[in-house]
Every structure is written in C-alpha cells, then in structure tokens.
Amino acid sequence: MRRDGHHGHDGTDARDGEPKVQRAVQSVEVGGRLLLALAAHRGPMSLKDLAAAATLPAARAHPYLVSYGRLGLVAQDPASGLYALGPAALQLGLAALTQLDPLKAAAPVAEALARSSGHAVALAVWGNFGPTVVRMIDAVQPLHVSMRAGTVMSLLGTATGRAFAAVLPFETLRRSLARPLGEEDRPARPLLARGDATLREIVDEYRRHGVARAAGRPMPGVNAFSAVAFDHEHQPAIVVTALGHQDSFPSAWGAPMAEAVRDAAREVSRRLGGAPPA
C-alpha cells in the first residue's frame, strides 16, 4: 500500500513518525548560490569570479544571471560587464529588514549563551524611562537578583545601563538621568558635572573592550558584562547582558564571559543586518 498520503499535520509520517521530506526545486537552490555569492562579496563581480564563488562553471552560471537580470535581482554594468545585485534584490532586503524584531532575533542567541555558560542572561531595550529588561533567562544555579521583564535598570550603575550609555547620544542620556521615573514630560534638569565625566569614562571603556561591566554593583557578589547589538541603520537595538556570582563569573576585561557576550551581540547584529556605527 502506498504511504505517500499518510502524513501527519506536523510533517511526519503518520504511520512510523519519520520526518516528511519536502520537495525542492534544485535549480532554484543552484541559482540562489549566485545571489548569495554576490551578497557576500559586497561589490560587483566578473562572471568568472562569481561562478567560482558559487562553485559553478561559468557556462552554467550565465543563464541564471540572464533570468535574474530580467527579474531585476541582478544588474550587469554595460561598460565593465561586472555583475551586482539589482533593484529587486534591494527591495527584498529592505522588506526583510523592516520585518525584523530585535527581541525575536536576539532571543535564540541569548538562550544559547545561557545554555553554554550556565549563567543568567538578560535582554534589554531603551524604553521611555531608560534601559528596560524585556527578557530574562535564569541561570542553572539560582541567582537572587531583582531583574525581570519590565525592570528599568540604572543607567550608570549597571552593566546594561552602561552599555546603552556608551552608544546613545549624550543628550538622550542627559534627559534620562535628569528625569525622575514616571515624569516623562518633565523638562530635564541640568546634569551634574560628575555625570558627564562618568559618561565619558563609560564610552572610553566600551570602545576599548567592546563590553560594559559591573563588578559587585549594584548587587554585591554579582558581576555582569553587557554588549550592544545594532540594527541595519547602525542604531542600538538591544543589549545582551550575562550575569553571575563572582565565584564563577570573573569580572576581568579578558574573562571568557566578556568575549562570549561580545560574540553574542555581534551575532544579534548580524541577524538584524546591522553593525556598529563607523
């Protein structure tokens, strides 16, 4: 008896639970390698180089490029003969970027960091009242901290806040520091000179190390590192923070968790199509 039609709604075979193999169009996958090669190269390419990057013979690559040219996915310069991504490819890319959700992009990266390290990981965005936690992933071993979704973090006293302070415009930070919680429309009071000096120190530290840190403050015995992920417009989108007890979470700038947090933020930036401002 044929088994083709006996598949469950979850894509598995209803009789033996085997995953259903979905049909694919091989020519689409082959041609797609040319588009991916152009995107990775970030500049015009000759037919020879493009075909080589896509691991295709030039004679086989050319018909794909003709079709993609008709669709506007690829454009060929009449003078040089070089190929580049076309206007339709740009429209697809922009459409994908506008649909990106920073929290959705960052969540799996944060979960992976928490699993691999065993430490707590938080994600925060810049809200009306400053750095605001939107996701908290608990540590394997209980860590008694007052962080949960909705918590507004101190701008200068926490690693999360200091990461935002390192990349946001000074005027935005001054307004946040001068405005009491819950008084969003109140005019900002002048920031103390000490606050300005602290902000400059934070910026310098972040530029040197690529992370912000908090060592035993504001929570005694708890250390943290934070790093910023950027969107496709080079704007700070979300901050990744890892935190743990000082006995298992060294606070040295060269500590393994500092590198792990930097790498996690870079990966979130990559998923958002972003990078830090030049």
18 lies in some domain = no
Asked if residue 161 and residue 46 are part of one domain, the reply reads no
On whether the CB atoms of residues 264 and 249 are closer than 8 A, the answer is: no
Name the residue among 274, 258, 242, 221 with its Cα closest to residue 112: 242
**Number of structural domains the chain divides into:** 2
> What are the Cα distances from residue 229, in Å, to 105, 172, 182, 252, 262?
10, 18, 27, 22, 9
pLDDT digits (tens, 9 = 90+) for 115-135: 999 999 999 999 877 899 999
Q: What integer pLDDT is reported at residue 14 of this predicted model? A: 47
Task: Print the domain residue range for 88.
Answer: 26-97
Asked if residue 126 and residue 37 are part of one domain, the reply reads no
pLDDT confidence of 217, banded at 50, 70, 90? confident
User: Of 79, 97, 115, which closes a domain?
Assistant: 97
Q: What integer pLDDT is reported at residue 20 of this predicted model? A: 66
On whether the CB atoms of residues 76 and 54 are closer than 8 A, the answer is: no
For residue 39 the two structure tokens come to 């995107």
7 lies in some domain = no
Asked if residue 207 and residue 137 are part of one domain, the reply reads yes
Question: What are the backbone dihedrals phi and psi of residue 75, each rounded to the nearest 5 degrees, phi first?
Answer: -130, 140
Asked if residue 191 and residue 151 are part of one domain, the reply reads yes
187 lies in some domain = yes
Asked if residue 159 and residue 143 are part of one domain, the reply reads yes
User: Of 70, 97, 124, which closes a domain?
Assistant: 97
200 lies in some domain = yes
pLDDT digits (tens, 9 = 90+) for 71-88: 999 999 999 999 999 999
3 lies in some domain = no
Asked if residue 184 and residue 229 are part of one domain, the reply reads yes
10 lies in some domain = no
Q: Output the CA angle 201-202-207, nearest 5 degrees.
A: 100
CA separation for the pair 160, 227 (Å, rounded): 8
8 lies in some domain = no
User: Of 64, 97, 130, which closes a domain?
Assistant: 97
32 lies in some domain = yes
CA separation for the pair 7, 75 (Å, rounded): 43
Asked if residue 55 and residue 144 are part of one domain, the reply reads no
For residue 173 the two structure tokens come to 């930070």
Asked if residue 243 and residue 168 are part of one domain, the reply reads yes
* 3-state SS, residue 72: coil
Number of H helices, E strands in the chain: 9, 7
Asked if residue 106 and residue 77 are part of one domain, the reply reads no
Asked if residue 163 and residue 109 are part of one domain, the reply reads yes
pLDDT digits (tens, 9 = 90+) for 147-192: 888 888 988 889 999 999 999 988 777 777 655 443 444 444 444 4
Asked if residue 90 and residue 123 are part of one domain, the reply reads no
CATH of the domain at 117: 3.30.450.40
pLDDT digits (tens, 9 = 90+) for 191-213: 444 556 778 888 899 999 999 99
pLDDT digits (tens, 9 = 90+) for 14-68: 445 555 667 777 888 888 999 999 988 878 999 999 999 999 999 999 999 999 9
Asked if residue 220 and residue 126 are part of one domain, the reply reads yes
CA separation for the pair 166, 164 (Å, rounded): 5
